[in-house]
Amino acid sequence: MDKTIEAVAAPTMTRRRILVGGATAAIVAVAGAGAYYLWSRPSLSQPGPVVAEPPGGADVPLAELMAPGPLGDNFLGSADAPVTIIEYASMTCPHCAHFYETTYPELKTKYIDTGKVRFIFREFPLDQLAAAASMLARCAGKDKYFPLIETFFAQQKEWVVQKPLEPMLAIAKQAGFTQQSFEECLANQQMLTALEETRKRANTKFGVNSTPTFFINGKIIRGGFSAEELDKQIAPYLKG
């Protein structure tokens, strides 16, 4: 299994984090002086302490895990599917983008589209730029949420840069945003607070401390995995 993951608390500042730091100042300029507090808050760029595995092993009670956060859940597939996969991901995480490039197409065509898997995506922003992309996906509406998530991952190298506003706006316009709606979305304090609450809940309640992290019917899997490993994980739930 590919164990490459993006940790919540990295011991050193990576080049990606340095670039994101520069991007934050640019986003402040978009929303105006009134949004300075929104984008200068330390909570998203300095996540809480890493927690241990949930009590009782790697599994989490499915009923508790399935309770949606303050923004509700967006999902693909049948609500009656025998398998539920929940992914916690950060939009600036390269390993999350790699999963969408390599394994997600197989997951969607073989399991989601056939009614075998319900796939829930939950935001776990590791920095302000990741939060901004998540907010834009939320603002786009339910019908455009997943297409925009997929586009941000597919074009991650183009907007996780020192000056992200222009490429982010270009991507957002594909989903129907205007300059005004783009700026209004990024200045939405209530949505940012809700994203932060979702991240904190995942960390403290479910032991999520890196991205991507998956739950397959409550079983936690840290890091991306191949299509072959996906088959192995899902197969036991589809027998009979």
The CATH number covering residue 113 comes to: 3.40.30.10
Please give the tally of structural domains in the chain: 1
pLDDT score, position 11: 32
Residue 1 domain-assigned (yes or no)? no
**CA-based R_g, the chain, Å:** 17
Residue 67 domain-assigned (yes or no)? yes
Q: Which two tokens stand for residue 31?
A: 């929303």
pTM, to two decimals? 0.80
Domain that holds residue 201: 6-238
pLDDT score, position 240: 61
Q: Can you point out the beta strands (E) in the chain?
A: 6-7, 74-76, 83-89, 117-123, 210-211, 213-216, 219-222
Mean pLDDT (10-residue bins), the chain, 240 residues: 48 37 45 37 36 46 90 96 97 97 97 98 96 98 97 97 96 97 96 96 95 95 93 90
pLDDT score, position 152: 98
Residue 206 domain-assigned (yes or no)? yes
Q: How far apart are CA 94 and CA 92, in angstroms?
A: 6
Show the CA angle centred on residue 177, arms to residues 172 and 183, nearest 5°.
90
Q: Which two tokens stand for residue 68?
A: 């949606």
Residue 53 domain-assigned (yes or no)? yes
pLDDT score, position 122: 98
Residue 44 domain-assigned (yes or no)? yes
Backbone phi and psi for residue 123, each to the nearest 5 degrees, phi listed first:
-75, 135
Q: How far apart are CA 146 and CA 175, in angstroms?
A: 11
